Structure 1
């Protein structure tokens, strides 16, 4: 079975190389640049993070020339569809709703936990105010939970809302929240239970770009098979991060 998977991946990678040779274009990789450790701007003003390292490796394996484009989260799908870039690689969870508009590769982060963070263990998660980034699966969850949802354009603003008392808690990817809580010196803490949402994180593409999707799928498969994807996940998210078996 493993040999068959590797053979299929090799064929798809070859197809991706053929795609690159035929089209001779640069693949524009769209990201947010504001969601560490997935993606962020470093001190030099360049995009950095797990997804940048991952995307560069995927492009190298598929023999594609790639460049990075940043876009605000709330318009990241419309700008993919309109052709401003060719992929979304921005901590985007795979959901049925999004899959109706765009296509996804297989996930490169397994389904993981979302979590609540507040300044008190008594934070009201069902009748209080909960902050979430707009157009995220976390915002959708809060909207249906009975809590009062307050949405912000950036993840930093959701945490700031808790710190300044505008919200009782923030609900976001736990991977994003862990380093913030650790660095808060006890000001912030996890409250309530973790919640499993979505089908993992994948790369978004236009539904018409089937060859490009096949190329990236094959590159992701090859990284899962040789262990380099797990190594990259542990590097950026820590030893407790979920990995692939």
Structure 2
């Protein structure tokens, strides 16, 4: 549902685009690394506006970004967020399929201008820029409902007798070695999923986001989330080309405007986030 503040917001963003396109990033900036690479070819924002479309890398394999089985269309918080951005810029969206293992290399190679929602991760931040957060989540274990009583503490997760499945290339692959260093970690490459390893008994549990876990439990009654406090609250933002401060500043301005208008909170609530 669109609101009356959109026309005013659109005019505000248009003014911001005009101002930002002509701006040169300061040498003191730190977000996303060295700006020389972006500066040599101009900001992706210039290219987006000239092209009339924004290319967005998305995995399409989790609750924030998925293919609706009934309509065959892309759906989720991440998808609607980008569509809101495109509407305010009066441009089209070009979805570019990627996977978690190649998310960073795709943006570094210029296959897409931004990604959808991606967890903050210092490894990623060395090779790409991040926008301000649009969401955050905690890390939780996902187990068979019949075994939920076996995991009453995080010490039960961090055991050499426990096999932990994580999605390869995601932040959980790194977090698993911090949260459960004693456990046996198995990284699952897409299109296979970590929760399928639990369902088939190949893993004792999966580590995933509180958002994904809640959605999966509603789909698969044989899965459950142990009654443990979520670990490592993690912000989520869009990934951008490394050092493209013009694009990052513009996106951050847009995100802030969505927060203050209430549109971003409305979107979170619509997706029960």
**Could you say whether these structures have the same fold, taking a TM-score greater than 0.5 normalized by the shorter chain as the test?**
yes
2:198 to 158, 162, 168: 162
Provide closer, same or farther for how the CA distance between residues 65 and 79 of structure 1 changes in structure 2, counting only shifts above 3 A: same
**Cross-structure match for 1:116:** 141
Q: Which consecutive residues of structure 2, in runs of 5 or more, have no partner in the other structure?
A: 1-9, 22-44
- Other-structure match for 1:72: 99
Structure 1 residue 136 and structure 2 residue 170: aligned? yes
The secondary structure found in structure 2 opposite 1:106 is coil
Does 2:38 correspond to 1:49? no
Deviation at 1:61? Answer: 2.2
Q: Would the alpha carbon gap of residues 107 and 155 (structure 1) be closer, same or farther in structure 2, given more than 3 Å must change?
A: farther
Q: Report the TM-score, using the length of structure 1 for normalisation.
A: 0.83
Question: How far did residue 177 of structure 1 move?
Answer: 1.0
Q: Residue 129 of structure 1 contacts residue 168 of structure 1 at CA under 8 Å; is this kept in 2?
A: yes
- SS of residue paired to 1:193: coil
Check 1:184–1:166 CA distance in 2 against 1; reply closer, same or farther (3 A cut): same
In 2, are the aligned partners of 1:130 and 1:147 still within 8 Å (CA)? yes
Q: Which stretches in structure 1 are left out of the alignment for 5+ residues?
A: 1-8
Name the counterpart of 2:88: 61
Residue by residue over 1:128-181, the C-alpha shift from the partner in whole angstroms, topping out at 9 and shown as x without a partner, is 111111122212121232211111123862111001111110100110110211
User: Does structure 1 conserve the Cα–Cα contact (< 8 Å) formed by 2:13 and 2:89?
Assistant: no
TM-score after normalising by structure 2? 0.75
User: Compared with structure 1, are the counterparts of its residues 63 and 216 closer, same or farther at alpha carbon in structure 2 (3 Å cutoff)?
Assistant: farther
Mean Cα deviation higher: 137-146 or 59-68:
59-68
1-structure distance, mates of 2:254, 2:134: 10
Higher Rg: 2
Cα RMSD after superposing both structures: 2.3
Change (3 A) 1:126 1:155: farther
Is the contact made by 1:30 and 1:85 (CA closer than 8 Å) also made in structure 2?
Answer: yes
Match among 175, 198, 210 for residue 211 of structure 2:
175
Cα distance in 2 for partners of 1:101, 1:81 equals 7
Cα separation, 2, equivalents of 1:46 and 1:88: 18
Q: Secondary structure at the residue paired with 1:178? A: helix
Instruction: Return closer, same or farther for 1:24/1:88 CA change in 2, 3 Å cut-off.
Output: same
Would the aligned equivalents of 2:13 and 2:88 in 1 still touch at CA under 8 Å?
A: no
Shift of 1:106: 0.4
Aligned to 1:101: 127
In structure 1, what is the equivalent of residue 158 of structure 2?
126
Q: How far off is 1:92 after superposition?
A: 1.0
Asked if residue 195 in structure 1 is aligned to residue 227 in structure 2, the reply is no
